[in-house]
Amino acid sequence: MQRKSFGSMSCPIARSLERVGEWWNILILRDAFAGLSRFDEFQKSLGIAPTMLTRRLNGLVEAGLLERHPYSERPLRHEYRLTERGVDFQPVLLAMLAWGNRHFAPEGESIMIVDRKTRERATPVLVDRASGRPLIGPDYVVVAGPAATEAGRQRIPPGGRSLDPARRSGASA
């Protein structure tokens, strides 16, 4: 699986995209989280061509998001399970779910997250684990890390770049 590479490879987002950038990959992961694990389960669920599914599955295995586990010898058959790296991808999926629900669900939500007991709807927000404060707001900033390139470093203003939409020129009143 030959990987596409972008100009700004030093960016972790670009690096992530190299692994999950293809259209199907994210949907396969979504289904893996839904508990699917066998080739034909994915195929039925996604309506994807088998040859494509093979390629995407192999890609995800190579990228370390999925693991093959044999469940039958003779003939050798395996199921695809999320690795820890794959499981870690869940926040991205949930963030996309929330965004899709918010902006592209004209007829209402088709999937939602609720409290297990009270059944109340949850609204996903990203916060800092330690402090519990929302990341998107005035309290946090993006800064260059130890592995940043000089070019990357220069794109970030001194003091860091705000994550607050209100401080973005053009956004909001």
Residues that bind DNA (CB under 7 A): 2, 4, 22-24, 38-41, 47-52, 54-57, 75, 77-79
Site for its own copies in 107-166 (CB under 8 A): 107-117, 120, 122-132, 135-136, 138-149, 152, 155-156, 159-163, 165
Q: Supply 102's token pair.
A: 């918010």
Q: Which does 167 bind (CB under 5 to 8 A by kind): DNA, its own copies, none?
A: none
Regarding 90 and contact with its own copies (CB under 8 A), the answer is yes
CB 17 within 8 A of CB 3: no
Phi and psi torsions of 29, nearest 5°: -60, -45
Between 2 and 169, whose beta carbon lies closer to DNA? 2
Exposure b/e, 39-70, CB count within 10 A at least 16 = b: bebbbeebebeeeebeebbebbbebebbbeee
Which residue in 40, 122, 26, 33 sits closest to 79, CA to CA? 40
As measured in angstroms, the least distance from the Cβ of 70 to its own copies is: 13
Site for its own copies in 37-76 (CB under 8 A): 37, 45-48, 64, 69
Beta partners for residue 134, in sequence order: 127
Between 50 and 165, whose beta carbon lies closer to its own copies? 165
Number of chain residues interacting with its own copies (CB under 8 A): 103
